[in-house]
Structure 1
Amino acid sequence: MINNKIQWFPGHMHKARKEIEEVVPKIDVIIEVLDARIPFSSENPLIRTLRGDKPVIKVLNKRDLADPAMTDIWMAHLEQEQGVSAMAITTQQQSEVNRIMERCRALAPHREAMGKNIRSMIMGIPNVGKSTIINSLAGRVIAKTGNQPAVTRQQQRINLQNGVVLSDTPGILWPKVENPHSGFRLAATGAVKDTAMDYDEVAFYTVEYLASAYPERLQERYQLDDLPETEIELMEAIGAKRGCLRAGGRVDIHKASEILLHDLRAGALGGITLEAPDMIETELVQVEEETARREAEKAANKEARRKRYLKNKR
């Protein structure tokens, strides 16, 4: 079980959550933008709580960076949840972005029948491409975009002039990422600021997964004949191939880590998905067991302190 947890919850995100809670009752359809490479880890559990029984469109963005076969599996998995409609897009294709509005109309036909605008709200964690989608839908620059997370800081309402009104929200992470695997995947894909993560640890985690799931991609990208057995040796091999050497010929692991993560984010390794539904089920069981163990340990420590206190009082 991985113990390292990557947490990042700036103050403005807490404020954003409160604002969203106030607006949701007036919304017809919720659009949640996910990263197609990490559909579970980029899915904010707060949104499930906030939306109630509102229909939600799960938009798997950056499909061009993900494994197509895994994207199909994830869409089928997500649609098992009541009220969820899933679709995969890339903002490189305007026609795919436009399908979001078509899906909104399909989920709120009563609003069109009444001659009223469909009230939609777009949500998503930082750096999943939400702002780029908004600008594409509006046909003009409305939302700031950037490769760093947390660019959008305040809510705004946008009339798309096509029968749909879109409420934008800041990208919010949740206060505590319970699944440590999700923390590493969020960091690997750039959902948290690089200053909030240890590049080397994230790279070790990522390269270990890639060696298991996509070994041929690593071999091809870094011209490796064989893959070393450990993640540290593999990162050293990648660093050596890319000239990340320090004095004395030692490999600079940090530079090698930066190269690997930048290649992953840019799609230089090909279409890669970092998680699968069955993997997530196993991980969540582990998290539940670990949580139960810690609670039991905490209760035992509390009881031991109580007994010591009573003994000292005698």
Structure 2
Amino acid sequence: MAAANFIPRTSFPAPTLPRAYFLGHHAKAIRKMREMTADIDLIYEVRDARAPLSTRNTIFDSIIGVKPRVVVYTKKDLSAIHPEMFRAWHPRGDYCTVNTHDHTSVKSLVNLSKRLCANRESFFGLRVMIMGMPNVGKSSLLNTLRHAGVGRRKAAKTGALAGVTRNISSYVKIHEDPDILVYDTPGVSLPKTIDAETMLTLSTIGSISVGLVDPTIQADYLLYQLNLVDPSGSLYIKYSPPTNDIEDFLTSYCLRMHRLSKGGYPDLLGAATHWVDRWRKGLEGRIAFDDFKNPSAYKEWEAAHDERRRKERGQQSDQKFRVA
């Protein structure tokens, strides 16, 4: 289809997907976080800057309570969301966008932390806990903070798949004078995601096990999102003309990337996995998910979440009444 006549999809048909990725070590981590929070001065709640709403875990709200919190958006170098959106969503300035490959951006997080806790005095220094969903970049953030702050190398394991960190670490010093001590924690998913599209987003950015969602569905959702970011198709034009048809796109991708199976047929499943993985790693450019062009998206998301929780509590009450 010619780019001038191309009209991108405005909605994505919700597939039937599992709505949960809540594992045993997630529940264990939540219990441990609750036990430790009383001795923590500041929380770094880490979210993926490509999917700032989908990677928000409301379980943390009950754990954090009134503790000072900085929302840290990692992978800003991979996100197509304009910085003005983050400022609109956090008018109090209690957030930071970082590139964990850039020491300058993480130093701004340290400075913000010191300002938030400027009046606090402790023999033990400033104690910080990192929280976030799986694979949003918590351990990478900790390693960069440590290297930038005290010149020491890797302190936590990192990886491209969700679930690398399984236990809460002992503290890691990331700054001296004042001492700032940070505890890394395992990524924790919601017991149940809000909807199928959130699950699609989490699978596409790698925040849940990649095997939970069919690679072709992930690729189709990625194509849909890329067309929303740039309807001209320029984000994938080197592989295919603008299209809404994932099979047409993957066929073109196979031919351009020489991904053919025996007999010379396009390996569509392999192409889907390969293409999505390249976007995950930032090899194809920047991407954005969620309602990334709406300055009110953050408040609207919170209002919708509160309404869903009220309905769920009402349904639970009705069930208890019927049982009684």
Instruction: Give the shorter-chain TM-score range.
Output: 0.7 to 0.9
1:27 maps to 2:40 = yes
Q: Look up the equivalent residue of 1:25 and give its one-letter code.
A: A
Shift of 1:219: 0.8
Q: Distance in 2 between matches of 1:136 and 1:191?
A: 20
Shift of 1:201: 1.3
Shift of 1:115: 6.3
- 1:4–1:164: structure 2 CA closer, same or farther, 3 Å change rule? same
Shift of 1:282: 8.2
Ranges in structure 1 where 5+ consecutive residues have no aligned partner: 304-314
1:170 maps to 2:186 = yes
**Equivalence map 1:11-90=2 (5 Å):** 11-67=24-80, 70-80=81-91, 85-90=94-99
Give the stretch that moved more between structures: 242-251 or 276-285. 276-285
Q: Look up the equivalent residue of 1:19 and give its one-letter code.
A: K
TM-score by length of 1: 0.81
1:4 maps to 2:19 = no
- 1:29–1:173: structure 2 CA closer, same or farther, 3 Å change rule? same
Q: Residue 119 of structure 1 aligns with which residue? A: 127
Shift of 1:287: 12
Q: Distance in 1 between matches of 2:163 and 2:27?
A: 13
Q: Distance in 2 between matches of 1:240 and 1:117?
A: 58
Q: Distance in 2 between matches of 1:240 and 1:287?
A: 47
1:95 to 72, 93, 104: 104
SS at match of 2:266: coil
Q: Residue 274 of structure 1 aligns with which residue? A: 289
Q: Distance in 2 between matches of 1:270 and 1:86?
A: 24
8 Å contact kept, 2:200–2:221: yes
Ranges in structure 2 where 5+ consecutive residues have no aligned partner: 1-12, 147-151
1:208 maps to 2:224 = yes
Deviations 1:151-201 (A, max 9, x none): 111112223352212122111111111122111111111111222332111
Q: Look up the equivalent residue of 2:165 and give its one-letter code.
A: T
Equivalent pairs counted in the alignment come to 290
Q: Distance in 2 between matches of 1:213 and 1:71?
A: 11
8 Å contact kept, 1:208–1:231: no
Q: Distance in 2 between matches of 1:58 and 1:286?
A: 18
8 Å contact kept, 2:55–2:133: yes
Q: Distance in 2 between matches of 1:190 and 1:109?
A: 36
- 1:183–1:284: structure 2 CA closer, same or farther, 3 Å change rule? farther
Greater relative contact order, per chain length (Cα 8 Å cut-off, separation 6+): 2
Shift of 1:106: 0.8
Q: Distance in 2 between matches of 1:86 and 1:161?
A: 19
- 1:248–1:142: structure 2 CA closer, same or farther, 3 Å change rule? closer
TM-score by length of 2: 0.79
- Please provide the CA RMSD for this pair: 3.1
Q: Distance in 2 between matches of 1:87 and 1:71?
A: 13
Q: Distance in 1 between matches of 2:40 and 2:247?
A: 49
1:133 to 141, 146, 161: 141
Q: Residue 217 of structure 1 aligns with which residue? A: 235
Q: Distance in 2 between matches of 1:207 and 1:31?
A: 32
8 Å contact kept, 2:53–2:301: no
- 1:283–1:142: structure 2 CA closer, same or farther, 3 Å change rule? closer
Q: Distance in 1 between matches of 2:287 and 2:228?
A: 12
8 Å contact kept, 2:142–2:155: yes
- 1:145–1:229: structure 2 CA closer, same or farther, 3 Å change rule? closer
1:155 to 142, 153, 168: 168
